[in-house]
Amino acid sequence: MTAVKICGLTRAEDVTAACALGAGYVGFNFSAASPRRITPETAREISAAVPAGVLRVGVFAAEDAATIARAIAAAGLHLVQLHRRLTEEEVAASPVPIIAVARQTGEDFAVPRRDLLVRCHAVLFDPSEGTGKALDPARIEEASWPVPVLVAGGLDAENVGAVIRRLRPAGVDVASGVESAAGIKDRGRLERFFAAVKAADA
């Protein structure tokens, strides 16, 4: 099955629902610019609802190494997702594996250097960064990548199947497409999203 990452989680009940439906990753946003931002203390509380085998991901943008380290320790993060230019120093110093983010710049994606990318857990193509901006699959389908590919950007139950069938990514990442409000997941939308992923895989 295509792995599903439910991102921007802020409530324990949403964590429980996402994991029960089959999420492979749960994302906690620590970026100061995000409407889904939570504190390390909140992340510690709600991460208690994450069962064994589901990977806890911390999402960061401009936060410094000390802030990231505190969040990793508080929430028991398995991975960090970095929405910024990846550096050699950051890759070498990270206490957990990194999901590198290929951010959209104009019509193209700014992909991290290959020598850094191969040391990462995965690469996420994300034109949206939580805003719901739609992914254009044509921008990434022609290239090959040295690590698993995750995709995000305006995904919901209506379009995720077509993206999976076209790109066959290792995983899909969704936040706003399964919400009733920023950070508040909707059980019905979650159920429909997972059903669409399973249908596309079948």
What amino acid positions are annotated as catalytic residues? Answer: 7, 126
Cα separation, 188 vs 4, whole angstroms? 16
Cα–Cα distances in angstroms (integers) from residue 52 to residues 23, 43, 135, in the given order: 12, 16, 31
Q: Which of 198, 175, 178, 200 has the alpha carbon at shortest distance from 190?
A: 178
> Token pair 């857990």 is at which residue?
121
Q: Which token pair is 189?
A: 């939308």
Cα separation, 117 vs 129, whole angstroms? 19
Q: List, as one string, the DSSP characters of 137-153.
A: GGGTTTS--SS-EEEES
